[in-house]
Amino acid sequence: MSETRVGFVGLGLMGQGMAANIVGKGYPLSVYAHRNRAPIEDLISRGAIEAADLADLGRNSEVIFLCLSGSPQVEEVVAALKPGLARGTVLVDCSTSDPVVTERLAHELAAQGVDFADAPLSRTPKEAWAGTLDCMVGATPEVFARIQPIIATWAGKIVHIGGVGDGHRMKLLNNFISLGYAAIYAEAIALSEKVGIPIASFDSVIRGGRMDCGFYQTFMASALEGNREAHRFAISNAYKDLRYLESMANDAKVVTNMASAAKNAFAYAMANGGDGPEDYVPHLTDFTAKLNGKS
C-alpha cells in the first residue's frame, strides 16, 4: 500500500478504469460523484472512499487527477478544490485542455503552493481498464518524479514532453492526426460508395496494408461492422479538441489548411444532429454520406 493519498475527479468513460487501477494497485483513493452513481459504487467496492464535496477531496489528497471534458470544466473543479488544497499538493489534468488555460491555472495555484501538471491520454476506455493507456506529461522534473509511479498504474507508455502546458500541446497535435484520419476515412468511404466500390472491398485493400493502424480498425468496426460502441469518443469532444488546436495555431501564427478542414467536417456533424453524448467519431461517416446526398 502506497502512502500517497490520491484523489480522482471525472469518472467517465476513461476515468473509471484509470481510478480502478489506482486503487487496485495499492493507492488510497478518494473519489467524488458529480451525477452518475454507478462508477462511484464500483470504486467504493474496490476500496475507494467517497468525498463529501470537492473541497473535502482536496483536503484528503496529496495528488489529484482530473479527467474532464475540457478547460471550462477543469476551471470549475479547480475553483471548488482550492479551499481544501494544502501546500505541496499536485493537481494533474488528464483532460484534453487548452494549454493557455493550463498555464494560467498553474500560475494561480503556484501562489497557493500547489503544483499543476498536464497528463492527457491516448487510446480508448479498453486500455484505461487494462492499465495500458499512453500518457504525455507536461511538468517540472520534480513533479514528474512524484506523479510518474501513480500514472504508471494506468498507463503503459509515459512520455515526459516538457514543462506545464506541453502535454496538452502534444495532445492537441496527437488528436489532430487521429481526427484528421477520421475525416479522411469518412470522405474516402463516401467517395468509394459513390463510385461503386463497397465498403467491404475498400476495407479489404486497406486492412493489413501500409495504411492500416489501430485507429483505422476501431473506426471501421463501426463503419463496416456496425459496432457503434467500438470507438467511444464523442464528436462533440473531437470538435472541441480541433477548436483548441486552431486557437493554438493562431497564437503560433501557423497556417492550418488540413486542421481547419478536419474541424469543418466535425462542425458539419455538430450542426446536423451529431452533438449528443453517444454520437461517436466513427459516426462521422453518416454525416459525410449525408453531405454527399446519401439519405
Q: Catalytic site residues? A: 171
- The position carrying cell 506523479 is 147
Alpha-carbon gap, residue 85 to 113, rounded angstroms: 9
Rounded CA separation 128/132 (Å): 6
Kindly provide the b/e burial profile for residues 177-195, where b requires at least 16 CB atoms within 10 angstroms of the residue's own CB.
Answer: ebbbbbbebbbebbebbee
Closest among 243, 252, 234 to 71, alpha carbons compared:
243
Q: Supply 253's cell numbers.
A: 501564427
Q: Scanning the structure block, which residue is given the C-alpha cell 463501426?
A: 222
**Do the strands 29-31 and 63-66 form a parallel or antiparallel pair, or are they unpaired?**
unpaired
The span from the CA of 110 to the CA of 56, in Å, is: 20
As a residue count, the chain comes to 295
C-alpha cell, 6:
490520491
Q: What are phi and psi of 275, to 5 degrees?
A: -100, 15
| In contact, 66 and 95? CB cutoff 8 Å | yes
Which H or E run includes 66?
Answer: strand 63-66
Whether 69 contacts 96, CB under 8 Å: no
**Cβ contacts of residue 18 below 8 Å, gap of 6+?**
8, 65, 67, 94, 128, 133, 154
